[in-house]
Structure 1
C-alpha cells in the first residue's frame, strides 16, 4: 500500500495506472495524448481508461462530500505521503 500511495508498483500494468492517476489528479484532468497512449501501451483499452478516470472522480467526489459535511472518520487514518516529483 505504501508503494501504491507513492505511485510505485513492481507490476508494469499497475505502475502505468498509478502514473496516469497521479498525472490525472495533479493536472486536474488535463492529461496529454501521450499519457493516454502510455496506458494503451500497457494493455488498457478505452473502456478500462474510462473506468480508471471514473474511479478517480468518484473518490474525489467522496472526499469532497466527507470534508464539506465533516463526516466522522470511522477507521484508522493513513497519513498521505508524497514523493518529490
Structure 2
C-alpha cells in the first residue's frame, strides 16, 4: 500500500532500484545488516556521491536498527503476525 509494485519490492529486498539514490540507500542498508554495522568510509562515500547528507545517512542506519530491533522483539516474544506476509528472498 506504499505505492511500490511487487517487482519493485522484490528488487528492494535484493538491494536494487532503478533510481541511483534509492539503489545506493538499499545497498548500504543491506551492507549494514549483512556485515553487522561494519561499513567502511568508502561505503559512506558512495552515499554522499548520490547526494545523501550526514543526517540522511544517520536516518538510514536508524531505520535499519529499528527494523532489526522490531524483528528481534517479534521473534523473541513470538508476536503473532497481523498483516499479510511477504515472502523473503533467500541470500
Give TM class, smaller chain: over 0.9
State the superposition RMSD in angstroms.
Answer: 0.9
5+ residue gaps, structure 2, are 1-8
Instruction: Give CA deviations for 1:21-57 in whole Å, capped at 9, x if unaligned.
Output: 1111100000000000000001000000001000000
Instruction: Find the counterpart in structure 2 of residue 8 from structure 1.
Output: 16
Match 1:17 to one of 25, 42, 51: 25
The runs of at least 4 consecutive aligned structure 1 residues that moved more than 2 Å come to none
5+ residue gaps, structure 1, are none
> Does 2:54 match 1:59?
no
Aligned residues: 83
1:40–1:60 distance in 2 versus 1, CA, 3 Å: same
Q: Is the 8 A contact 1:5 1:82 kept in 2?
A: no
Cα separation, 2, equivalents of 1:77 and 1:3? 17
Aligned-pair CA distance for 1:6: 1.2
Match 1:45 to one of 41, 47, 53: 53
